[in-house]
Chain A
Amino acid sequence: MNSVNFNQLVPGRTLIAAAVAAILLAACTAAPPRPVGAAEARGKLTQLQSNPDLANRAPLAVKEADAAVRAAEQPEADRELGAHRVYMADRKVEIARAQAETSLAEDQRSTLSAQRESARLDARTREADAARDQVATARAEGAEQKVVAEQARTDADTARSDAASSEQQATELRRQIDMLQAKPTDRGLVLTLGDVLFTSGRADLKAGATGNLNKLVAFLNQYPDRTAAIEGHTDSVGNEDSNQGLSERRADSVKSYLVGQGIGASRLSASGKGENDPLAGNDSAAGRQQNRRVEVIISNPVAALR
């Protein structure tokens, strides 16, 4: 080029040309290395792009990640800059992956909810079938129960044909609860057994006073996943310690009766509250009568009323 001509003519120019060449050469020496870690970032991105479940789920983030990885792959003499680009690329790949996984999880939700619906429907159908089986057993048991059985069979058939309707199930449960005269509370269904169960001062059950208890037995048989806590209470007449003892023994004797009727002991717990938890004032006979009682608290199973 021109410089060659000047070269022969002017020694001063040679000097400058040499300096410029040296600077250019210095810039070009030893092609700078690829930043460490760029290959790993590329590897992670490729993995994401070749996963058929995730590949097309976060197109924008993947595009950004790809650009960042390409920048990181450029040979770079400035090591810190190279490391910075690798960092950015790595995080952008991770962001793309997280977004893709999120979108996949959201899409899987409809499948999951279909599965749950089908399990729920199945459960209701089975419950209705079970109710019908019970009816068949009850019918065999005698004429007195026949009327009830008829009623229950009608209910069971209705329940089965409407198996998909959860309202129906709730109605059946409410009917049972009404039959028990139990009150739904935060702690569960509370069934209050009055003092007619026991002779004053004693803890053994009166013969013939077990009608309400038998309804409870039937209920617990029908809902085998429910447990019951039995609590004895007294009025404030008499010694506090002896009241405490009496309330415990009464709760125990209700529990023994239920166990005797075939309810698993592991589903039952008994405790005495003595006179500490009155329902009414102890200054009238009526109030004291209300306070002398055994409460049966039936647990609410999760989702039972849904």
Chain B
Amino acid sequence: MNSTSHAPGSCALRTAVVLAGFFVLAACVSTPPAPTAGLQAAQRAIATAEAAEAGRYAPGELAEARTELASADTAVSDQRMTLAARLADESRVEAELASARTGQMKAKAVNDEMARSTSTLIEEMQRSSGAKP
């Protein structure tokens, strides 16, 4: 560096000033933009879950996803963008869970119904063959 050619005291001072300026700047960069993409993704995930009837099959997860999305919106208006981005992600993943659980419950309902109709058939058969010796 050139610094060796300067007086040692002024060099330290300059470096300190530059460093301080850098920190101040870093602090000011804050207030990142609102996490629009994350919020939209959460909204889409909730809409998908709703369309799949998650309100019926996974109401707890769906309600939580909605609550988290509302909290994310609040965080945006409070200018707490990092928090908002996390809440939006949590809302999205919760809505995805609501959809997944809904799929699982529906598949289970179909299987239960099939098993039930088979056992009814067998029961009826046993009853009618029992009635006639």
Contact = CB atoms under 8 A, between A and B. Distances in A.
Interface of A: 9-10, 12-13, 15-16, 61, 80-81, 84, 87-88, 91-92, 94-95, 98-99, 101-102, 105-106, 108-109, 112-113, 115-116, 119-120, 122-123, 126-127, 130, 133, 224-225, 302-303
Contacts of A108: 111
Contacts of B83: 80
Interface string B90-133: 10011011001101100110110011011011101101110110
Contacts, number: 103
Contacts of A88: 89-90, 93
B66 interface: no
Interface string B40-65: 00000000000000000000000000
Interface string B3-31: 00000110111011000000000000000
A82 B12 CA distance: 39
A187 B121 CA distance: 22
Interface of B: 8-9, 11-13, 15-16, 83, 86, 89-90, 93-94, 96-97, 100-101, 103-104, 107-108, 110-111, 114-115, 117-118, 120-122, 124-125, 127-129, 131-132
B90 A112 contact: no
Contacts of A102: 100, 103-104, 107
A10 B1 CA distance: 15
**What are the 3 tightest A-B residue pairs by CB atom distance, in nearest-first order?**
A12-B12, A98-B100, A105-B107
A91 B100 CA distance: 11
B9 to A, nearest CB: 6
Given A88-B90, A102-B103, A225-B128, A112 B97 contact: no
20 contacts: A10-B12, A12-B11, A84-B86, A95-B96, A95-B97, A98-B103, A99-B104, A101-B107, A101-B108, A102-B103, A105-B104, A105-B108, A105-B111, A109-B114, A113-B114, A116-B114, A116-B121, A119-B122, A127-B128, A130-B132
